[in-house]
A and B are shown apart, each in its own frame.
Chain A
Amino acid sequence: MAAISREEVAHLARLSRLAVTDQELDRFAGQLDVILQSVARVGEVAADDIPPTSHAVPLENVLREDVVVPGLTRAEALSGAPDAAEDRFRVPQILADEE
């Protein structure tokens, strides 16, 4: 399995919405490489005819009667928000000024 490069780690961090520092990139690249080389062993045993298991319990859709039940109040839902305005979550602008 190919080694993971510093640039790849930076790309993955961007995809994960993680602003990583240069020092973190240096550190993570080495560590992730060791981890990925070690876990690549899963490819040794699992043949094509083995079905994957995503879950220990067979999942089925769970339905309930369509009855209105109390949920959180607006104040409760907003109680942990970093910022709120006019009974809503206030978020930073989606597009930067120049876009």
Chain B
Amino acid sequence: MSDLIKLSAAALGEKLAAGEVSAEEVTRTHLDRIAEVDGRVHAFLHVDTEGALAAARGIDSRRAAGEKLGPLAGVPIAIKDVIATKGVPTTCASKILEGWRPPYDATIMTRIREAGMVMLGKTNMDEFAMGSSTEYSAYGPTFNPWDLSRIPGGSGGGSAAALAAYEAPLAIGTDTGGSIRQPGAVTGTVGAKPTYGGTSRYGLVAFSSSLDTPGPCARTVLDAALLHEVIAGHDPRDSTSIPRPVPDVVAAARLGASGDLTGVRIGVVKEFSAEGVEPGVSAVFRDAVETLTKLGAEVVEVSCPHFEYALPAYYLIAPSECSSNLARFDGVRFGLRVGDDGNRALEEVMSLTREAGFGDEVKRRIIIGTYALSSGYYDAYYGQAQKVRTLISRDFTSAFEQVDVLISATTPFTAFELGSRTSDPYQMYLADLYTIPTNLYGGPAISVPAGLSDGLPVGLQVMAPTMADDRMYRIAAAVESVVGTFTPPAL
């Protein structure tokens, strides 16, 4: 294995800037690694070999011409297949979009290209980002590089696995209920959900519009911050984009790496210490609290009494929005069309297309959403869920009057075996128990590796107030400075 693929994105960027290595060489090395291991990991749905090499050569030429480039210029990146990439297949891991090549780039993709980064390809995911294990991909699951019999988390399992398997130094994920942080936790990588509205959703195939947030996946906290800096910021094409400056997350990550947290107040969410947590996960979390205390932080218990209702509220709000968003997949303007034999009417063709194109979990959520929004049930389900959302936001607001950030384990359990939860969808939903409250509130949160339990990674989640993304990077970097990063067994 080449040493190049083990480098952090920050270190790669420095080597590229110093002319010690070319972008083409870095790209080729990663493409070789993908060719070597992805048959076993299946992190990628599409590898854009030609496009990546062409982009890399372009960066090398610009650098040779003396152009001043950003810190990540020439660094390769993998993109979750829910992000529109011009001319490159974008399927959301669904049959209904098989072969679709968008005629435009998502805003974050434009920014990634402008930063001179090299897209290697599109990563596997749960279909339309609905799932917690990447087992609901229509193109087969991704396998966790730590143990190929286990799930890599979901829905961004492909992005996280690509990092853990050293196929890419950076990746993009999207987080609707934990789909960046949860795969980060179970693969021993870093996953950050920015403040909702801090990163543009333009060109992100919508699942639940009031929750979806694109964000960085990396192997180190500083790398995540560097990518965050590239993709964040106001976008006039997204009406939910916040027109305010992005906090200096890179400076915060560097500050945190010094390991001094004197004067920082950290809250442990009391309600998260309840039953259902694996003992090994609890043990790593207790060690993390001890670490933070040793670094000078004051750690106190904080009550968020409505967090226990976050999961039920989420599983009404997200399917409701999904049932509406996915109405666009009707076999008319793009993607699959089934049953158009010249005799069937549009509605029947639509039904047959959606039956053939969507997988089980997507269908389940569309039906739940249709139910929750239907006359007679709207007030009892969707309306109540929106009120719970208010209560959860109030819990966060009140907590952040007492402490700077909140912490918890990212997931209640480590990576489970493939197939062990697919027959019971509600059991699967529990994987996102700790990540969901943040999505309902809209604030930023990050998962940083905190230790191992029975040889499998455990993540620590740091949650911060809205637009205070820098705070979470500081705390996460401080944890990383003590516990280090984690390397899976050789593939």
Contacts and interface: CB of A to CB of B under 8 A. Distances in A.
Interface of A: 1, 4, 8-9, 12-21, 24, 27-28, 31-32, 34-36, 38-47, 50-57, 59, 61-62, 64, 72, 76-77, 79-83, 89, 91-97, 99
Nearest to A99: B345
B437 to A, nearest CB: 12
Residue picked from A18, A28, A43, A79, most chain B C-beta under 10 Å: A18
Contact of A50 (B197, B332, B337, B391): B391
B390 A17 contact: no
B210 A54 contact: yes
Interface in B175-196: 196
Contact of A38 (B323, B337, B390, B426): B426
Nearest to A98: B345
A79 B210 CA distance: 29
Contacts of B374: 12, 15
Interface residues of B, number: 73
B357 to A, nearest CB: 10
A97 B332 CA distance: 20
Contact of A53 (B336, B343, B346, B393): B393
A53 B389 contact: yes
A94 B346 contact: yes
B335 A80 contact: yes
Nearest to B351: A19
Given A81-B333, A92-B344, A97-B343, A56 B380 contact: no
Interface in B379-409: 380-381, 383-391, 393
Nearest to B213: A56
A49 to B, nearest CB: 9
Closest 6 CB pairs of A and B: A56-B442, A46-B387, A52-B386, A82-B337, A80-B334, A76-B103
B309 A45 contact: yes
Contacts of B271: none
B380 to A, nearest CB: 6
B355 A18 contact: yes
Contact of B104 (A46, A56, A59, A72): A72
Given A16-B367, A20-B355, A82 B389 contact: no
Contacts of B386: 52-54
B431 interface: no
Interface of B: 100-104, 196-197, 210-211, 236, 239-240, 242, 306, 309, 311-313, 315-316, 323, 327, 330-337, 340, 343-352, 354-355, 358, 360, 363-364, 366-368, 370-371, 374, 380-381, 383-391, 393, 424-426, 429, 440-442, 466
Contacts of A38: 312, 315, 426
9 contacts: A18-B355, A40-B381, A42-B312, A52-B386, A54-B210, A57-B242, A81-B332, A82-B340, A92-B345
A52 B390 contact: yes
A12 B367 contact: yes
Contacts of A79: 101, 103
Residue picked from B104, B312, B363, most chain A C-beta under 10 Å: B312
A27 B311 CA distance: 23
Contacts of A50: 387, 390-391
Contact of A41 (B309, B368, B390, B466): B309
B208 to A, nearest CB: 11
Contact of A45 (B104, B306, B331): B306
A8 to B, nearest CB: 8
Contact of B384 (A43, A82, A91): A43
A91 B332 contact: yes
B389 A59 contact: no
Nearest to A10: B367
Nearest to B387: A46
Nearest to A35: B426
Given A39-B315, A45-B388, A56-B441, A18 B351 contact: yes
B390 A83 contact: no
Given A57-B242, A72-B103, A16 B370 contact: yes
Given A19-B354, A39-B381, A80-B101, A57 B370 contact: no
B345 A96 contact: yes
B196 A56 contact: yes
Given A41-B312, A89-B333, A92-B345, 14 more contacts: A4-B371, A16-B323, A17-B347, A18-B363, A19-B348, A27-B360, A35-B315, A39-B312, A42-B385, A59-B239, A80-B103, A82-B335, A92-B346, A92-B348
B340 A83 contact: yes
A9 B370 CA distance: 10
A19 B353 CA distance: 8
Given A17-B350, A19-B355, A59-B239, A45 B315 contact: no
B442 A57 contact: yes
A55 B100 CA distance: 30
B143 to A, nearest CB: 25
Contacts of B380: 1, 40, 43
Given A16-B370, A17-B347, A57 B364 contact: no
B312 A82 contact: no
B390 A53 contact: yes
Contacts of B347: 17
B316 to A, nearest CB: 5
A33 to B, nearest CB: 10
B363 A35 contact: no
